[in-house]
Amino acid sequence: MTSYDWWPMRWPRGWPPEMLQILAGAPINCLISSEPGLSLANYRVLGELPGQLPQDVQLIEGIWPSVKISRTRDSAEAGPTGAPWIDANGWRIQLARARYPNQQLWIDYQPPGELPDLNSLLVAIAEACAFGARWIVTLPEQLAQGLLNHRGEALTLWEQAKKLMRFFQEHSQWCSWPVVAPLGVVSDFSGENEFLATEFLNLASRRNLAYRVILREQLTRERLAGLAALILIDGQAVEAKWSAPSWEFAEKGGLVIAPKLPKGSVPARTYAGHRIARFGRGRVAAPIEPWSDPYILAEQVHWLVGRRNDPVRLWNGELLATHCCRSGDGKTTVVHLIGYSGWRPFQDVTVGVSTRGVEARVWWVDGEAQIQGTRRQLGTEFALPPFRVYCAVECGGSHA
Amino acid sequence: MREHELSCRLPTFTRRQLFALAAGMGVGQTARALPTAPVAVARCADYEPKRLVETLGRMFDQIGGLERLVAGKTVAVKVNLTGGAHQRLGHTPAELAHWTHPNVIGAVVYWLGRAGARRIRILESIAYSPEPLEEFMIAAGWEPRDIANAAPRVEFENTSYLGMGKEYKLLRVPGQPHIFPGFLLNHSYADCDVFVTLAKLKEHYTAGITLSLKNSFGITPTTIYGEAAGIDEPALIPRGGRSMLHRGHRQPAKPAPPEIDPSSPRDDGYRVPRIVADLAAARPIHLAVIDGITTMTAGEGPWIRPRDGRRTEVVSPRVLIVGTNPVCTDAVGAAVMGFDPAADRGTPPFERCDSTLRLAAAHGIGTYKLDEIEVIGETIDAVRFPFRRVSS
């Protein structure tokens, strides 16, 4: 269980202690400042990081979450899908959660020099919280100055930021709920495996292919419970002793996707760029051509696992990422929707959740509502109200 | 010409039409009569599966039954799943706006199976991805097993690339092509005895209307005709739409035949209808089913920003249209939508484009003249649903 006692903020350079009042109503309780002698009552003050981190905190590096924008503000740079390219941190946080399961995670990155849209501050807060971390709130220079000078626009945005932080503080139990995912991604995520493994996580997230990160030294039968499939990314996985629980997983009916087929397995068919062989009650799949492009790998693995197993489906949510968690008792599911386009409201978004319940509570930055979903064959669909930056959908009911 | 193509092109006249032709044709007159075939029109209130099966079964009987067409044959069924699986018009599921409804597909598959089809292959070209078609359907919220279980031996294929084939197949345009002398296509469009198109009753931003003929635009693989197509050979993976066909800024990947006249207009209102007509000639359609139960106005998909202050909206004409001649079927479809199927460029719905119906007729595929088409079941007047009046 991770504790979320700390909520860090980097104290803007040149802010006098009187600016402390601006934090009233925010759950921020830890300030990071390189200015000597800054003493702020009721706040723990840390010097520059990573030197003085609290004991139960792990610091990870991130990047400013954003849509890659082309010169004309209304359009975005396309990735290989034709879909816009998004810089996101969800996968980094999920990987860090696997590496440091008992630590509170702080993700740190500074705003870029010139921020075209200050609303992306809200995206940074929401993204980290939704995935179970805290972003070290670091105000863009324009916003810090605006607050210092009591400018209306800056104050409005800051109030929204505080409201968002309070929301996550009130729902901090969500952070410890296990992710709902059909796929386990197994690697040591380092050395020669790092590029393919981490880019796979990044690009799988972009396709809303939900996964559970499993460090290979932690690969045990217990960690595979509830999964439909497993990918062993590392080159020598098939021969390695650590992969033994995977084969048991396949024997019992799971799908194991590996760099090559285990000895003795005979491929019965090809699908999504892989040869597939029966293995006990399950299947094993290996690539026809060695894996090299993580984008194609994420795509093919999604098809091998099957979209039928997706816990969340999304419509009209091109610039959204999703993260789905379920309470330990399995009675409540929450879907976080993180919008990477801070400046543009999300209209007409529908989210499909693989649960039977048709009622949901929806929160967004400006409001909340109880909504009624529509039962469909693959789960329940909820038509969401227009929102900016972030929306949470909490619904009950068992897995569909 | 293959046997099935031949049988498709033979004009089938009702006795009434034969009399009309005989009366109207003087001695020595050499006017070529275009093929015609009956078109069945039926009201259908919704997509309730039982109702759909009953209605379509009756309609297939009205046009002469499916057995003669499909018994013992491999049947390719092109559906209309244009755009992405994650796009919706507002919150409306794609099948209630711009996609052929899965229950219509399932009902047609059921009747094809009942009529003795040896193999039924559901086809669509997903422009941006080699994604298996079933996965694409699931992404849209569909359950493809319902379609697969509607008849024995049902398969799916994404035809935007080589897919399960070993090579692309060249299908030539017989006679004088408008733009392309032939098309290099996924094997599925050649390895079939019967070609069925399951279209949606919609307007189209570029082509005015999109019914059964225009549905064939989507049989082109984007590895050859798409934005990321290869130059000297097809790309391995489809990534991108068909702007090449719209704008003509480049030629398709080799060895696909290039345009016959690269100096022809690059206007998409000129090109798209002609390419559609060429495709319908190269890959003849044997059975056209138009889903007009629930659809959208003012364009072919939710990405359309209509001209002239109109807006896209979901509407329910509650009609199904079925025929064996795609030009005749589309002519009736256009009339049901409140348009004159004989309209030429400059007249709704072809204000900014040429008429696909006329261009397909020029290929000798069929007639678009309503007085030459036998309409069975409901009359056009009884089911007319004027699209322009709804969303203007």
pLDDT digits (tens, 9 = 90+) for A337-384: 999 987 788 999 999 999 888 999 999 988 899 999 999 999 999 999
The dihedral through the CA atoms of A313, A314, A319, A323 has a sign that is: negative
A320 and A204 within one domain: no
pLDDT higher than 80, residue B390 = no
How much is the pLDDT for A398? Answer: 61
In a domain, A13, yes or no: yes
Work out the burial of residue A192: count CB atoms within 10 Å of its CB; fewer than 13 is exposed, 13-18 middle, 19 or more buried: exposed
pLDDT digits (tens, 9 = 90+) for A220-237: 999 999 999 999 999 888
* Listed residue (A117, A62, A194) closest to A389, CA to CA: A117
A323 and A292 within one domain: no
pLDDT digits (tens, 9 = 90+) for A237-276: 888 899 999 999 999 999 999 999 999 899 999 999 999 9
How much is the pLDDT for B1? Answer: 38
A163 and A101 within one domain: yes
Cβ contacts (< 8 Å) between A297 and chain B: which residues? none
Return the number of other C-beta atoms located less than 10 Å from residue B72's C-beta: 11
A59 and A39 within one domain: yes
A321 and A246 within one domain: no
Residue from the list A82, A272, A378 with its beta carbon closest to the beta carbon of B132? A272
> pLDDT-based confidence at A67, cuts 50/70/90?
confident
Residue from the list A80, A299, A381 with its beta carbon closest to the beta carbon of B141? A381
Q: Which of B87, B103, B138, B305 to mutate to probe the A interface, most A CBs <10 Å?
A: B138
Where is the domain boundary, A124, A157, A176?
A: A176
Among the residue ranges A160-169, B30-39, B315-324, B375-384, the one predicted with the least confidence is: B30-39
How much is the pLDDT for B16? Answer: 40
Cβ contacts (< 8 Å) between A376 and chain B: which residues? 93, 141
Side chain identity, residue B376: I
Whether A378 and B141 lie within 8 Å, measured CB to CB: yes
Task: With H, G, I as helix, E, B as strand and everything else as coil, classify residue A212.
Answer: strand
DSSP run (H or E) holding A144: helix A141-148
Task: Work out the minimum CA distance from B373 to partner chain A, whole angstroms.
Answer: 40
> pLDDT-based confidence at A42, cuts 50/70/90?
confident
Instruction: Please say whether the beta carbons of A62 and A107 come within 8 A.
Output: yes
In a domain, A2, yes or no: no
A303 and A316 within one domain: no
How much is the pLDDT for A190? Answer: 96
A16 and A125 within one domain: yes
- As for the ipTM of the complex, it is 0.92
Q: Does A301 contact B at CB distance below 8 Å?
A: no
**What's the structural domain count of chain A?**
3
pLDDT digits (tens, 9 = 90+) for B336-362: 999 999 999 999 999 999 999 999 999
Where is the domain boundary, A176, A192, A225?
A: A176
Q: Which of A315, A375, A378, A384 to mutate to probe the B interface, most B CBs <10 Å?
A: A315
How much is the pLDDT for A369? Answer: 96
Where is the domain boundary, A176, A196, A212?
A: A176
A305 and A319 within one domain: no
What number is the average pLDDT over the span B141-163?
A: 97
Total residues belonging to chain B: 392
A274 and A343 within one domain: no
In a domain, A1, yes or no: no
Q: Determine the Cα–Cα distance for residues B280 and B286; give it in Å rounded to an integer.
A: 10
Residue A143 dihedral angles phi and psi, to the nearest 5°: -70, -40
Sheet of A44-46: strand order equals A44-46, A30-32, A8-10, A137-138
- Mean confidence (pLDDT) of chain B: 92
pLDDT higher than 70, residue B21 = no
Q: Does A386 contact B at CB distance below 8 Å?
A: no
pLDDT higher than 80, residue A1 = no
Cβ contacts (< 8 Å) between A302 and chain B: which residues? 135
How much is the pLDDT for B19? Answer: 38
Q: Determine the Cα–Cα distance for residues A31 and A46; give it in Å rounded to an integer.
A: 6
pLDDT higher than 90, residue B2 = no
A297 and A250 within one domain: yes
How much is the pLDDT for A113? Answer: 81
Q: Determine the Cα–Cα distance for residues A282 and A305; give it in Å rounded to an integer.
A: 12
With a CB cutoff of 8 Å and minimum separation 6, the contacts of B121 are B74, B75, B76, B77, B154, B155, B156, B157, B188, B192
How much is the pLDDT for B309? Answer: 87
Please report, for the domain that includes residue A297, its CATH number: 3.40.50.880
Whether B128 and A81 lie within 8 Å, measured CB to CB: yes
Please report, for the domain that includes residue A336, its CATH number: 2.60.40.1180
How much is the pLDDT for A79? Answer: 43
- Domain of A228 in residue numbering reads as 183-309
What number is the average pLDDT over the span B324-333?
A: 98
pLDDT higher than 50, residue B12 = no
* Listed residue (B284, B302, B378, B341) closest to B89, CA to CA: B302
Give the pair of three-digit tokens for residue B319. 């009609």
A300 and A200 within one domain: yes
Q: Determine the Cα–Cα distance for residues A104 and A93; give it in Å rounded to an integer.
A: 11
Q: Determine the Cα–Cα distance for residues B78 and B122; give it in Å rounded to an integer.
A: 6
Q: Determine the Cα–Cα distance for residues A163 and B280; give it in Å rounded to an integer.
A: 59
A46 and A169 within one domain: yes
